[in-house]
Amino acid sequence: MPKRSPRPAVTAALPPAPPVAGRPRALLRSGALAALTVLALTACTATPRPAARTREAPTRPPVTTRHALHRLVDDGAPGAASLTNRAGYPDARYATAGVADLRSGRTMRPRDHFRAGSLTKTLVATVVLQLVAEGRLSLHDSAAAHLPPGVPAVRDGDRSELRRVTIRQLLDHTSGLFNYTQDPRLSRQLFGKGFGAHRYDSHTPAELLRIALSHPPVSPPGAHYAYSNTNYLVLGLVIEAVTTHPYATEIRRRILGPARLTHTSFPGTDPVLPEPHGRAYSRAGGRRVDATSLDPSRAGAAGEMVTTLGDLNRFFAALLGGRLLPPRQMAQIHNEKGTGGAYGLGLYATRLPCGVTVWGHNGDINGSYVRTAGTADGRHIVSYRLNTDTLAHPAHGTAVLTAEFCASRRRP
């Protein structure tokens, strides 16, 4: 949900690699009697000499992201961590830099929970495309045709903007709908000086949509790409209208269960992160604040999800590997033609300097930034996160992906 330090580091892995087998230590004995004894025993038993063991293959991908994570900490993030899964390696590679808690100095842990922000959108898009595959929805349908009762109207009840906007335009951010998080008054409450006083305010999707529709569209529907959290707020309502269940219920049934995402949740209005977790730090009113606890209904279907690095990797491996969508919908989710190559349908491509193209999404919400990317077949995935919501140098974030995927081209 975009809103526009001490430096100890640990590089670890899940789980620890078994010790590499080596040659048994030779026992040297002296004296004629010892020599005769050895000869006699050898003659009697005829035991063959054991062959030297070969070196075991590594179980985890190589360490590639450590230096890039340190750079993010040097930029001002209290802590940074990454998790890599790669075909051919049974175990994941975890790396971290900096700290999860500025007071205790505790490092980030692989199973820590955190807020994933706009990575929620990829799961919402997946459910919408599943409904399309089932014939319960069409990408060409208007948004207004699939909204539950009570959805707010603009001024006198005119919903012309929503009648003209299609499901596809919501998915790829070409609807032109105003981004509700950019409303000046709400933005001050969510991210600015008013954060402390309003961090536990609850918001309904209808209320947030009313704020968005009180502003004129930024462009006609389909004109061009303009990222807006309002689009996925509406898609959450569309899922509810089509299935008669809240969008989070459908995600749990359709994605979390089948993909075994046991550490992912949609907290609604619950401000507390599940254990274990570190701290989350944000800038509000010109100073650093602890933003660990807040009411996530400010984000809703646009970014309320809480998860772990391991669950993000499992989800993207399942999605990109074709286990959650049929082939036709897989082609649609990758289709960036409507945005000039900026965004697909809840997914976007990043073209790295070495020529590798990876697919994924990023997300930020108060105190947390996270990004996941993987190869098109889902066989190589990396997720990384910071316990702050702002990248001082965005290119340094992409450098984590470059370190991982470009280094892999030079290594078996």
* 129 and 183 Cβ atoms separated by less than 8 Å: no
Q: Which residues of the chain have pLDDT under 50?
A: 4-47, 153-156, 412
Identify the bridge partners of residue 98 per DSSP, sorted by sequence position: 79
Nearest-Å Rg of the Cα atoms of the chain is 26
Predicted structure pTM score: 0.86
pLDDT of amino acid 194: 95
Q: Residue 228 catalytic?
A: no
Catalytic residue among 82, 118, 175, 408: 118
pLDDT of amino acid 254: 98
Identify the bridge partners of residue 349 per DSSP, sorted by sequence position: 359
pLDDT of amino acid 29: 34
pLDDT of amino acid 410: 57
pLDDT of amino acid 50: 53
pLDDT of amino acid 21: 37
pLDDT of amino acid 44: 43
